[in-house]
A and B are shown apart, each in its own frame.
Chain A
């Protein structure tokens, strides 16, 4: 199992530029979550999808942020235009469908290694 794959691992960009973060969830997982981690605010849920449909995007900071999941194996988080306060680590996580009450086989959120974003 390859795990959740995020790219790029690090991104340095200038204020005003468009940034696109990518995520490939684990095959067979039907829920996908985007989180942002900062020292000040910890791990914030930005948006999550179930079966490729956005369920809750109330955590998306503002209109500059958008996320898509065109199919079950790919999602993007886009920031346009980027600002220095967007600097953070962005995590993608996925989860398989609920199959029962064993925590070994379901309801387990698997995280990618994150994208460290720096906006100068």
Chain B
């Protein structure tokens, strides 16, 4: 089956620092999605990418769809305490757009 591997698994950073995380797959996806999950809640969509090579920003967040369509990265600039949470990548593919999630990156921001 499809597998998405995220790295790093977890990270501690100082407030104000930039963060980078990535996701790789053994399969090709036609859409890449990045979600954030706060404790006790369901994941919430941050950014969606539709074309290989596409670079998209949403405020302090920037994400890119890899050229091979098997990877994506997410950058967060100037981190703040509310960025704490688990970040998931997800790949979407197939005629019915099945959504498969990565293993997650747990982010801790030290004030």
Contacts and interface: CB of A to CB of B under 8 A. Distances in A.
Q: Which interface class (under 10, 10 to 19, 20 to 34, 35 or more) fits B?
A: 20 to 34
A91 B48 contact: no
A12 interface: no
Interface of A: 4, 31, 33, 35, 42-45, 48, 50, 55-56, 58, 91, 93, 95, 98, 101, 103, 107-109, 111-114
A114 B50 contact: no
Interface string B75-102: 0000000000000101010001111111
Contacts of A103: 48, 50
Given A58-B1, A103-B50, A112 B96 contact: no
Nearest to A39: B104
Contacts of A113: 40-42
Interface string B47-58: 010100000000
Nearest to B102: A42
B96 A101 contact: no
Contacts of B102: 42
Residue from A101, A109, A111, A113 whose CB has the most chain B CB atoms within 10 Å: A109
A96 to B, nearest CB: 11
A114 B31 CA distance: 25
Contacts of A98: 97
Given A42-B101, A93-B42, A109-B33, 8 more contacts: A31-B96, A42-B102, A45-B98, A50-B96, A98-B97, A107-B97, A114-B41, A114-B42
